[in-house]
Structure 1
């Protein structure tokens, strides 16, 4: 019996270093569960956790157009254990809104690690509603100035700025309704309380496929592999062009070896079949870009949206 007990004690002792090495990585999404950011975060967590030998847990920290979650990550230790699903809105738009008072500027406080996907923006309406085309929506806005409404994930979100860009390009008066995330905005479109939304296809792909929403056009000049029949909105509204993206960032100050290990794991996940396939199934275009390429994309979009914000006068709430 003494030999058996000694063996058990030694077994536990030998296992302790392995258990001590097990870690949990927090991947923060700044938006509500069910939206595109949450989706990308969860797909990424599932794919990259085994490659890092860690349990990757998604946490939703909503508010202030994604910057509440970004601030939490920015204040975290730069050890690679707290990451942020960084979409376009909080990094390229929110800090530039007129009168913005945010906990951090995510574009300055976070370090890009890698981009995973591009996202076409879809112009969607309720399938049971009165609109069968973009022209129908624009005609209604022309006939009833200030009464046709569009939803967004919040003031200064990419959905909001996309609607403002549409107003700018058409000269029509339409009402913006801000929600705390894309999911509640979609719910109100389905319920007939909001007329339309221009949002990531990942936010609405399932509802379009199920026939609850009608996809009227795409925000960029490309074609969606999931919805190949959808035409560019620019064919109806010249000059309209919006493309989103979804990357992974961490706190500034991460050691090069930590950031490099995370980037390598993300690259490996994107080189496989599972993660790109799941992203594509949800209306996204899989595209791996390294940290330097994502940094350039962030800066380019900051310049683009700065022009729209200043021209339209979009103010933070």
Structure 2
């Protein structure tokens, strides 16, 4: 700083202090409990996954991770709440497909994903599984398509809410196979599966978690999965696109922080997320929930979200999908 004038010297000192402060903040983070926001009720896939993830982070950090459930409006209420938290690194959300990539295309939401959030990483992915009652006549997706073509509008199916993989997969099926079937919307996949067991609906592209126990108990028959290829956790099931080419809709979850969160904190959080997802215990617990633990860079996650919005924007337009605003 030799030769610097008074104002220049002050400017350089301020920059050094900011740099040092940011570095120390990154090294000591987190110095207090961290809030983990879940936009769904307790007990569902997102909530259980968040609690597994949060518990491992708390163990790593030596700081409490407090799960806060903010359900409602198909995940939009909790997502808006997460967007409005201070960008200080002490709040994050477990985001997923519906509220982030699909609902903004279907209705007016009070947040802008690109402007209001800093992506950190994907944490898991998993297909849905097409299920019918074990005593149903259908033994394949092809048989459901054939029946629907012969009996237009006579089959009904459940969905677990607008923007969900169960909703999108069903719309894809109708659009690809050119069949008519009647949607019965539910406020969650558990309720839809219960009505399938009660013979109130004919089929559902269900999340794996609410369906698996009934598949194992012999009460439901699994026909195919909505992933692009075989799924390690359900290796015996073929992809649904074997019968309906292009029927691919995979659920995913990831970490978002409020926009403006310091880059050093996002980088630290990303590193800890990658370590957490590589933990064998986390991998096993995620597998028990029917998903695979995965990770990505923040840039990859941002690009992935944009690609998902493009994909489902095209489907929504082609299939003329509408929900109440």
Give TM-score, length-normalised by structure 2: 0.84
**Does residue 98 of structure 2 align to residue 89 of structure 1?**
yes
The one of 208, 218, 221 equivalent to 1:211 is 218
**Does residue 294 of structure 2 align to residue 280 of structure 1?**
no
2:202 counterpart residue number? 195
Aligned partners of 1:117 and 1:245 also within 8 Å:
yes
Count of paired positions: 295
> CA distance change for structure 1 residues 26 and 208 in 2, over 3 Å: closer, same or farther?
farther
**Per-residue deviation, 1:296:** 1.1
1:28 counterpart residue number? 37
The CA distance in 1 between the partners of 2:100 and 2:177, in whole Å, is: 27
2:315 counterpart residue number? 308
Gaps (5+ residues) in structure 2? 1-29
- SS of structure 2 residue aligned to 1:47: helix
2:74 counterpart residue number? 65
The CA distance in 2 between the partners of 1:108 and 1:313, in whole Å, is: 27
1:178 counterpart residue number? 185
The one of 285, 298, 304 equivalent to 1:291 is 298
Aligned alpha-carbon RMSD (Å): 1.9
**Does residue 68 of structure 2 align to residue 47 of structure 1?**
no
Deviations 1:32-76 (A, max 9, x none): 333322222122112211112222232322222211110010011
1:18 counterpart residue number? none
- SS of structure 2 residue aligned to 1:62: coil
**Per-residue deviation, 1:79:** 1.9
**Per-residue deviation, 1:22:** 6.7
Give TM-score, length-normalised by structure 1: 0.86
**Does residue 123 of structure 2 align to residue 126 of structure 1?**
no
Deviations 1:228-285 (A, max 9, x none): 1101111111222222211111111111122122212111111221111211232212
2:5 counterpart residue number? none
Aligned partners of 1:152 and 1:159 also within 8 Å:
yes
| 251-260 or 208-217, larger mean C-alpha shift | 208-217
Aligned partners of 1:61 and 1:69 also within 8 Å:
yes
Aligned partners of 1:107 and 1:298 also within 8 Å:
no
> CA distance change for structure 1 residues 203 and 45 in 2, over 3 Å: closer, same or farther?
farther
